[in-house]
Amino acid sequence: MTEKKKVLFLLPKKERDNKEKFGEILAKKTDLEPFFAYEAGEVENPEEFDIVVSFFYDWFRQILPKMEGLQWIHFLSAGVDLLWDWGLDKKGYIFSKSSGVHAQPISDHVMAMVLYFSRELGTFERQKIKKEWKGHHLEELQGMTMGILGLGAIGRACAQKARAFGMRVLGTAGHPREVEGVEYVGGPGAVEKVIRESDYLVVALPLTGKTQGLIGKEELEKMKKKAVIINIARGEIIKEPDLIECLEKEKIKGAGLDVFAEEPLPENSPLWEMENVLITPHNAGSTPYYMERALEIFLENWEAYRQGQPLPTGVDLEKGY
User: Can you name the residues that pair with 54 across neighbouring β-strands?
Assistant: 10, 75
Cβ burial of 50 (10 Å; 0-12, 13-18, 19+) is middle
Give helix then strand counts, H and E, for the chain. Answer: 9, 12
Sign of CA dihedral 206, 166, 193, 122: negative
Strand order across the 228-231 sheet: 184-186, 168-172, 145-149, 200-203, 228-231, 254-257, 277-279
Q: What is the DSSP string of 245-262?
A: HHHHTTSSSEEEES--SS
What residues are paired with 15 via a beta bridge?
Answer: none
What are the two backbone dihedrals, phi and then psi, of residue 37, each rounded to the nearest 5 degrees?
-135, 150
Give catalytic residue positions: 234, 263, 282
Residue 212 phi/psi, 5-degree rounding, is -65, 125
DSSP bridge pairs for 35: 8
| Distant-in-sequence, close-in-space partners of 90: CB < 8 Å, separation ≥ 6 | 83, 317
Locate all alpha helices (DSSP H) within the chain, ordered by sequence: 19-29, 58-63, 103-118, 121-130, 153-164, 191-197, 217-220, 240-248, 290-306
Residue 307 neighbours by CB under 8 Å, 6+ apart = none
